[in-house]
Structure 1
């Protein structure tokens, strides 16, 4: 797709045909997605939640509202960048709780945006698997002896492929650059993850701590990847629509097993691979913001998210692992690289903006 500009891809992204497919996937096939809260009555307590698709489905929210006699307003995001922007938007509503990965949790904690959590108010944490109760052992969750986040769900970020077009499972993330798949590749629109997974593909040992020469080499590689792309995606449902409508062969699965579940429910025959060079993985957690107006209510939400029934729904509907039960699928000795804070967030985002806008390789 070398001849297709970024603006053309963006236009393609918003074509009505995709809106129709995406609406079908969201509203009919999967039974969840974007929804609007009912009008808030005067004096009614409100909990404002900032989360990812599938984390706060309408029926799950309704049960919480009825139990605590409150109104919950859910705002969904489709990238770490969008999450950060929501928390920094001028005149934005104050969010009470948010879901973010461990690297972002550290960033938010350092920016003094989160409030420490009272574990005594979170009894359901005792139902979590032992490795998720060992909060000090998970990088980014604690600071100065205080806990700022509770693990909720996790997934690797591997390769998703069409079994009909690729009968033999690909072994490396470098297959995304295979000219055989020109125009049949999907990539997630994120500066942080693209630089990190490309670093792994190129054999760099520290994908979150890149020097200037490595950043340039990766930028060139990501410009080269544009030749193979159908487009970039943000939401998992959006990727599903593109995958089916355009018979995509290969995709970087930012949402991992959640995307595999969506695709299979939509009738796609897909496989999922953790590349030989290793795979990025994320652990998403719930946190309470410093702006939370009703902290006991915010803590009640986090505790509610860890109830066995709610966690089970996350796995059943989204195909994502939860922190209360061991996953059925065991990937053995796969090289998992948990995402961490990067060397220069702003630099990555600046380079990524140039890459997706169509800037030429020789300009980097």
Structure 2
């Protein structure tokens, strides 16, 4: 998230090597690392006598860049979170899908079978994506430096942690979680005044001299190398799993103001060359053995098994933002450290 995984490789095109290299049917998959591991790809290729080409991306922006060109004609099936799906529906990039053609949807938990209750993936009576995995975005802290578990994401702004904060390098979620910390009720639809407040608050966070990451692996490296105290866990429990595996003594909380949570889905490109093969891919990924193995490998919750979230944890499913482009423009300036003007107010956006 969205939004993802124990990633050793990202942003690269990986073509699986198998005995099906010259198969007539090719499936082109666009996904987050961890969603198309080589052993699963090999098994799918054998089962369906096809060749799978996987392109990995590491940000929502990169996903949009790949799919917005020629309305996704270079891919057959892709993974995107529910908040992002609205863009792909708006631009006629995603094609309607029918759960009846994906039998394993019947094995999903009730909340994910009731797809009509997930507005972001529905439009005019048509369904455009199938839920796959999800995670909340909590706060990770170093137990050696912070003896008592923090309770709020506001701890990221604590001046005693200057140079010890790790942040995800993404515009959308950073604006949303920041809006929550200053009491904005709807973090996904900021008016002008709320946007200004959020920009200034993010500028204050930039003053903490944070380290940035895109992938979970980068986050782990930044946290350990820089002896960080706090991390905004854009990939949630997955990052906790990675850090502990690397020997870090870390804790994890869902902050009192609530944690943003993303739900990643599989969608089919409107220009898919083989829609049936794309449906088979989604059904394959929803096989219980694959979904449960993904949870074991990545620490992410799947849509077939119950998660470990407490009933007391406040989870806020992410939605489409009021202006993705504006958030991106502001974040680029904040990230570069040049978003202030003489009056300490955000500059007028370039629209």
User: Normalization by structure 2: what TM-score?
Assistant: 0.91
Deviation at 1:25, TM superposition (A): 8.2
Among 267, 275, 281, the residue aligned to 2:261: 281
Deviation at 1:90, TM superposition (A): 6.7
* Secondary structure, counterpart of 1:125 in structure 2: helix
1:66 aligns with 2:46: yes
1:172 aligns with 2:161: no
How far does the alpha carbon of each residue in 1:179-212 deviate from its partner, in whole angstroms, 9 at most, with x for none? 1111010111111101100000000001011011
Q: Report the counterpart of residue 4 of structure 1 in structure 2.
A: none
User: In structure 2, how many angstroms separate the alpha carbons of the residues matched to 1:271 and 1:34?
Assistant: 34
Among 328, 331, 354, the residue aligned to 2:310: 331
Q: Report the counterpart of residue 334 of structure 2 in structure 1.
A: 355
* Secondary structure, counterpart of 2:8 in structure 1: helix
Aligned length: 335
Unaligned runs of 5+ in 1: 1-23, 28-32
1:224 aligns with 2:175: no
User: In structure 2, how many angstroms separate the alpha carbons of the residues matched to 1:226 and 1:165?
Assistant: 21
Q: Report the counterpart of residue 53 of structure 1 in structure 2.
A: 33
Q: Report the counterpart of residue 192 of structure 1 in structure 2.
A: 172
In the alignment, is the contact (CA less than 8 A) between 1:101 and 1:282 conserved in 2? yes
In the alignment, is the contact (CA less than 8 A) between 2:32 and 2:79 conserved in 1? yes
Please say which of residues 33-42 and 167-176 is displaced more in the overlay: 33-42
In the alignment, is the contact (CA less than 8 A) between 1:195 and 1:218 conserved in 2? yes
How far does the alpha carbon of each residue in 1:157-196 deviate from its partner, in whole angstroms, 9 at most, with x for none? 0101111111111111110010111101011111110110
Q: Report the counterpart of residue 278 of structure 2 in structure 1.
A: 298
1:26 aligns with 2:5: no
Question: For residues 235 and 125 of structure 1, do their structure 2 counterparts lie closer, same or farther at Cα, with a shift above 3 Å needed?
Answer: same
* Secondary structure, counterpart of 1:229 in structure 2: coil
User: Normalization by structure 1: what TM-score?
Assistant: 0.88
User: In structure 1, how many angstroms separate the alpha carbons of the residues matched to 2:123 and 2:68?
Assistant: 22
User: In structure 1, how many angstroms separate the alpha carbons of the residues matched to 2:90 and 2:70?
Assistant: 20
Question: For residues 41 and 330 of structure 1, do their structure 2 counterparts lie closer, same or farther at Cα, with a shift above 3 Å needed?
Answer: closer
Question: For residues 90 and 173 of structure 1, do their structure 2 counterparts lie closer, same or farther at Cα, with a shift above 3 Å needed?
Answer: same
Compare the two structures and name the one with the higher helix fraction. 1
Question: For residues 256 and 181 of structure 1, do their structure 2 counterparts lie closer, same or farther at Cα, with a shift above 3 Å needed?
Answer: same
In the alignment, is the contact (CA less than 8 A) between 1:25 and 1:266 conserved in 2? no
Please say which of residues 39-48 and 157-166 is displaced more in the overlay: 39-48
Question: For residues 170 and 54 of structure 1, do their structure 2 counterparts lie closer, same or farther at Cα, with a shift above 3 Å needed?
Answer: same
- Within a 5 Å distance, the mapping from 1:247-258 to structure 2 comes to 247-258=227-238
How far does the alpha carbon of each residue in 1:31-69 deviate from its partner, in whole angstroms, 9 at most, with x for none? xx9854339855632111111121111111111011111
- Within a 5 Å distance, the mapping from 1:232-243 to structure 2 comes to 232-243=212-223
User: In structure 2, how many angstroms separate the alpha carbons of the residues matched to 1:25 and 1:278?
Assistant: 27
Deviation at 1:246, TM superposition (A): 1.4
CA RMSD after TM alignment: 2.0
User: In structure 1, how many angstroms separate the alpha carbons of the residues matched to 2:197 and 2:305?
Assistant: 41
Unaligned runs of 5+ in 2: 1-5, 347-351
User: In structure 2, how many angstroms separate the alpha carbons of the residues matched to 1:50 and 1:289?
Assistant: 10
User: In structure 2, how many angstroms separate the alpha carbons of the residues matched to 1:168 and 1:288?
Assistant: 46
Q: Report the counterpart of residue 239 of structure 2 in structure 1.
A: 259
